[in-house]
Amino acid sequence: MKYIIGAYATAPSLAISDKALEKKFYEKLIDSIPQIRGLEIPFWGEEIHQFGSSFLLDIINPKWENVLTCIPGTMSYLAKEPSFGLASDNSKGRKNAIAMYKRVNDMLKKMNDKYGRKSIITVQIVTAPSMGKSGVRSSVDSFMNSLDQIMSWDWDGARIVVEHCDRFSPHQPFEKGFLSIEDEIKGLLKISNQYNIGLTINWARSAIEARSVNTPIQHLKLASANNLLSGLIFSGVSSNDELYGQWKDTHMPFADSYNSKYYEEKSLLTKENIKQTLASINLEELDYLGVKLLSMPIEKNDVERRVGINLSAISILDQILL
- What is the domain partition of the chain in residue ranges? 3-321
- Per-residue pLDDT of 104-125, as tens digits, reads 999 999 999 999 999 999 999 9
Read off the pLDDT of residues 173-228 as tens digits, 9 standing for 90 and up.
889 999 999 999 999 999 999 999 999 999 999 999 999 999 999 999 999 999 99
Residues 6 or more apart whose CB falls under 8 angstroms from that of 116 comprise 62
pTM of the predicted structure, to 2 decimals: 0.97
Return the C-alpha torsion angle 310, 312, 314, 317, nearest 10: -140
Indicate if the pLDDT at residue 171 is higher than 90.
no
Give dist(CA 266, CA 240) in Å, integer. 7
Q: Tell which CATH classification among 3.20.20.150, 1.20.140.10, 1.10.730.10, 3.40.50.10440 matches the domain 3-321.
A: 3.20.20.150
d(CA 305, CA 292): 14
